[in-house]
Amino acid sequence: FWDFLILFFCLPVVIFNEITKKRLLGDLSCRIVPFMEVSSLGVTTFSLCALGIDRFHAATSPQASARPIEQCQSIIAKLAVIWVGSMTLSVPEILLWQLAQDTSPVSGMVTEYCTMKPPSSLPESVYSLVLTYQNARMWWYFGCYFCLPILFTVSCQLVTRRISGTEKKTECRGTKHSQCESHLNCTIIGLTIIYGLCTTPENVCNIVVAYMSPGMSKQTLDLLNLINQFFLFFKCSVTPVLLLCLCRPLGQAFMDCCCCCCEGCSPDAASSEGSADTKLKTEMSSSIFFDKPRESPPPLLALGTPC
């Protein structure tokens, strides 16, 4: 959903600015767009960490094949922590950027662009904090939004594989359960690879700009910034598609919802197939990121007399 917000709001603003050299929504977009982009990195980072912890718990659970499904309230609470934490860490971006204007010496056309300069009207204590954030922004990006999700995911996967390999020597698990765990691990690894590939150019550009900024022209800096935003938009476009393709239950549920909305399900059909749809959705939702035993059928009630 956050990737959709980035594509829906930030992408048109960037395209409009590149075509017209005017900033859509003025100073507001200069503050909101970086805030949403950095929040997107935080949401992806902490989501990957949460998924890595879930896979680790699935591997270290004493009865992994009988692991209960996590309640919806618990999942919503975790998502709220991820979103609120990501947006809180991105608040300095709102105070760091502001709109600036420049006149072209050739055409005399006034162009608008966003510059990283805290306004002097801020209180002294807030202004010093924003300056500190600006000086440490490059390494904060590199450490929190690049190294943390990659190292966290790699560590969880290594520990999970080691535990899974040890357990396979001592006991034999169900084939379906093992395949499900392996499939979910591959999904998380795929998401991490896409995220790492798309954020590497931005971190490289930040390091280059930090040490070579005085000798670089404004056109070069604008080009590097545009490349960074292109990779961010590419990540936001590829991540949902990759998740729907790799996680088959989630993709199938998504396609069923789209087909149902397009065809306009009638009330009679919905009532007649309500029980089957409820059972299908329950099975799909339980196999997205939380394991539920389905190898053995449910126990049957005894019918008839003891004879």
For residue 238, pLDDT beyond 80: yes
For residue 64, the 8-state DSSP code is G
Per the prediction, the chain carries an average pLDDT of 76
Q: What is the pLDDT of residue 272?
A: 45
Q: How far is Cα 173 from Cα 15, in angstroms, rounded to an integer?
A: 52
What is the residue extent of each domain of the chain?
1-60+70-254
What share of the chain has pLDDT > 90, as a percent?
6
For residue 169, pLDDT beyond 80: no
For residue 214, pLDDT beyond 60: yes
Question: In this structure, what token pair is assigned to residue 104?
Answer: 């072209």
Q: What number is the average pLDDT over the span 27-33?
A: 86
263 CB contacts (<8 Å, ≥6 apart)? none
> Three-class SS of residue 120?
coil
Helix (H) or strand (E) holding 40: helix 27-60
> Three-class SS of residue 101?
strand
Chain segment 59-115, per-residue pLDDT in tens = 776 655 555 677 888 888 889 999 999 999 999 888 888 888 777 666 667 777 788
Residues 39 and 62: beta-carbon distance below 8 Å? no
For residue 271, pLDDT beyond 50: no
Helix (H) or strand (E) holding 189: helix 175-212
CATH number for the domain running over 1-60+70-254: 1.20.1070.10
Q: pLDDT band at 210, cuts 50/70/90?
A: confident
Predicted TM-score (pTM) above 0.85: no
Residues 6 and 229: beta-carbon distance below 8 Å? no
Chain segment 137-160, per-residue pLDDT in tens = 888 888 889 888 888 888 888 887
For residue 25, pLDDT beyond 70: yes
For residue 134, pLDDT beyond 70: yes
- Angle CA(138)–CA(142)–CA(144) in degrees, nearest 5? 115
Considering only CA atoms, which of 207, 18, 211 is closest in space to residue 114?
18
